[in-house]
């Protein structure tokens, strides 16, 4: 008789409302919105973000932010990532976290790459945007943190609602 290998998974889902003023903390890392949502090696994450906010100058339609870099005078947290976008990391504290990385540099809606827009990496390391999925590696374990890639943050108003699904695989 042939044996059959069966992989079973369970889904843990949680929704977070992230204030558009979440961002750089006193340690200089990504943070201020600590989800208390833990992930471990081999978990899979699916993240969907909805909503927009006002950044003090104009309306930001969604968590993908603007298709360009922020003004360097404003010193955004991740200067090479799309301005006013949702960014994220995984770790054990505010400092020293591993940036979320799906290995892509593609806008989740238009399909354009950062290189096509003249900014390689624009949607790369750290970018979450409106839609993100990844399988967690051993170097990225701990709690998920979210922030808005904008500065200053105190003139922002509005929220982004984020749904995080964690698929836990067992054999």
Q: Which residue has the tokens 């993908």?
A: 64
Residue 52 pLDDT: 92
Residue 50 pLDDT: 96
Residues of the chain with pLDDT > 90: what percent? Answer: 21
Beta bridge partners of 81: none
d(CA 149, CA 20): 9
For 60-70, what is each residue's pLDDT tens digit? 999 999 888 87
Residue 30 pLDDT: 44
pLDDT greater than 80 at residue 140 = no
Residue 6 pLDDT: 63
Whether the CB-CB separation of 2 and 167 falls below 8 Å is answered with no
Q: For residue 73, give Cα distances in angstroms to 17, 70, 132.
A: 28, 8, 29
Provide CB contacts within 8 A for 34, sequence distance 6+: 94, 143, 145
Lowest mean pLDDT among 44-48, 53-57, 73-77, 102-106: 73-77
| Chain centre distance of CA 90 | 10
Residue 122 pLDDT: 87
pLDDT greater than 90 at residue 142 = no
For 111-126, what is each residue's pLDDT tens digit? 888 888 888 888 888 8
Whether the CB-CB separation of 143 and 62 falls below 8 Å is answered with no
Confidence class for position 24, pLDDT limits 50, 70, 90: low
The CA-CA-CA angle for residues 120, 75, 146, to 5°, reads: 75
Residue 95 pLDDT: 55
pLDDT greater than 50 at residue 73 = yes
pLDDT greater than 50 at residue 29 = no
What structural domains does the chain harbor?
A: 12-170 (2.60.120.430)
d(CA 124, CA 8): 31
Identify the CA nearest to 31 among candidates 72, 73, 79, 87: 87
d(CA 4, CA 22): 47
């Amino acid at each position: 008789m042939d044996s059959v290998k069966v992989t079973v998974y369970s889904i843990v889902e949680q929704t977070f409302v992230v204030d558009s003023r979440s961002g750089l903390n006193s340690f200089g890392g990504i943070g201020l919105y600590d989800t208390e949502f833990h992930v471990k090696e081999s978990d899979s994450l699916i993240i969907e973000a909805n909503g927009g906010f006002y950044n003090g100058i104009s309306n930001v339609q969604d968590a993908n932010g603007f298709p360009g870099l922020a003004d360097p005078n404003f010193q955004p947290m991740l200067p090479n990532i799309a301005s006013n976008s949702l960014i994220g990391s995984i770790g054990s504290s505010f400092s020293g976290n591993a940036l979320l990385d799906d290995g892509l540099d593609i806008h989740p809606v238009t399909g354009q790459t950062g290189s096509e827009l003249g900014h390689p990496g624009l949607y790369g390391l750290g970018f979450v945007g409106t839609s993100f999925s990844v399988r967690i590696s051993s170097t990225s374990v701990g709690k998920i943190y979210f922030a808005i890639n904008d500065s200053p943050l105190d003139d922002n108003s509005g929220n982004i609602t984020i749904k995080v699904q964690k698929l836990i695989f067992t054999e």
